[in-house]
Amino acid sequence: MLPAHNVINLLARFMLCFLLANAYAATAAAELATTASTAAKSHPDQSGFHILDTGQEAFLYRAAMIDAAQSTIDAQYYIWNSDTSGVYLARRLLLAADRGVQVRVVLDDINLGGRDDVLALFAAHPNIDIRVYNPAPVRDGFGKWLSFLGDFDRLNRRMHNKSFIVDGAIGIIGGRNIGDEYFDEHATLNFRDRDVMAVGPIVDGFSANFEAFWESEWSRPVAELASEAASEAEYASRVAEARAQASDTAGLKLALPMGQDAGLEILAERIDKLVWAEADFIFEPPFTDPDEFPEELTAAAKALADAVRASESEVLIESAYFILDEAALANIRELNADPLRIAVLTNSLASNDVVPNHAGYARWRPEVLEHGFELFELRPDAEACTVWVAYEEFCADGDIGLHSKTAVFDRKVLYVGSFNANLRAMYLNGETVLLIRSPELAAEVAASIETGMTRANSWQVELDEDGDLQWQGQTQTLSSEPDTDWWLRTKAWMISLLPIEDYL
């Protein structure tokens, strides 16, 4: 038997270790928020920003934020795919919840595709809550789309917002959804996209946007939509399997941080290099009357209109979809009485992932040019693929598409958000607009947009002497949509005859 004084010493050492462990945990729990707030103290009335200009970087920082999280993760997305990257991030969220992080996810219903049951399984975790925004009454298959006919006005209002916020201290806002094609991980198609990581007071706006949709009467707990609740045995089995595979990076090109220390290290290094600037964040809150078709521009659209109005010389726009009618075109030109260069980079028919959206754009393309806009359409084989996508081997055979929603005003103010230059964003959708008053970041993104507008990366669309469309390439001028076959052109032309641009 140990002497009494030895027992006392052992107990004392045990208590000391226990107290030190708790002290370390308390320090770690505050580390991310402290790092962010400490950095912000040196920049009063400003927020810190980093442009996520490649899918690889966007994936890396989301993964690091999940692993570094100590108290909360709030994620809001239009699309969260169940592919390699989407499943990986979902499993990391599960591990975060296991260590006590409160995880909340709100997803738009339009792309859930019959995944209510598996989402409800995740949401059965005591620290995970998942809601579905504006759900259709029929949950799967063709019936889901038929339900739009009976409740079109309501179901036509979508949450297009994308936000990711950790510990209320660091957030990501922009155009990217969650999925392989947004993170340079897809084998055949990757998107040129852009979002912004931020710390400082602007993150409060990101959180207000999340809360507005989380608390909306149109957001329903996914458990209420699932076909049946999982049994305790099924829950235990499925969740145990997800935990066991949560560190499996098979199929991913990117080496990702694993664990709290690794995530914190990556984020602390980036926070130390942020660009600090004043900024405004605007979002369109959820609709209140499902039977009312809105006649006024959304708050997000008004904010961008004000930015055009304030511009003196140039507006550069990079938008996956560019769908305006005569009234919208006239209104944009009337916003600024002085001569104003408006140059637009958007998808070509060959690079567009949604043919109806291209058709809606093509319907008004001649009028866009007549209003003095410069138009550039992305080539799917753009040479800049090797800059935009982190893996050069992809660019040899894969196609690049445009998904970003960005604008630069007079090379002084930068817009990044979820807002495409289309009528749906202007009137119907929930959208986000981040306006950063930073000549440094504006110049950086302007240079990137102008790279996309070069002949190696896009076709410039013009009107010839007879008023017909022509596409200027590197070595030739074409009179029809480049890199497309007759059937794709025919489908786009037929759809363009329909006056449906208000819904695209």
Q: Would you name the residues annotated as active-site residues?
A: 160, 162, 167, 403, 405, 410
CB 420 within 8 A of CB 324: no
Whole-angstrom Cα distance, residue 218 to residue 157?
10
What backbone phi and psi angles, to 5 degrees, belong to 312? -110, -25
Whole-angstrom Cα distance, residue 217 to residue 229?
23
Whole-angstrom Cα distance, residue 313 to residue 263?
42
What sign results for the dihedral spanned by CA atoms 273, 276, 279, 285?
positive
Q: Which residue has the tokens 């738009």?
A: 108
Whole-angstrom Cα distance, residue 332 to residue 478?
29
- How do strand 374-378 and strand 341-347 relate by DSSP bridges? parallel
HEC sequence for 386-406: HHHCCCHHHHHHCEEEECCEE
Say which amino acid occupies 295.
Answer: E
CB 504 within 8 A of CB 360: yes
CB 64 within 8 A of CB 197: no
Give CA separation, 304 vs 48, 376, 434, 437, in Å: 21, 21, 10, 13
E strand map for 338-445:
341-347, 374-378, 399-402, 405-409, 413-417, 421-422, 432-437
The H-or-E segment that residue 277 falls in is strand 275-283
CB 77 within 8 A of CB 119: no
Whole-angstrom Cα distance, residue 165 to residue 76?
9
Whole-angstrom Cα distance, residue 97 to residue 76?
17
The residue count for the chain: 504
Three-state DSSP class for 138?
coil
Q: Which residue has the tokens 């992932």?
A: 353
Whole-angstrom Cα distance, residue 68 to residue 48?
18
Work out the angle at residue 465's Cα, subtended by the Cα atoms of residues 460 and 468, and round it to the nearest 5 degrees.
Answer: 60
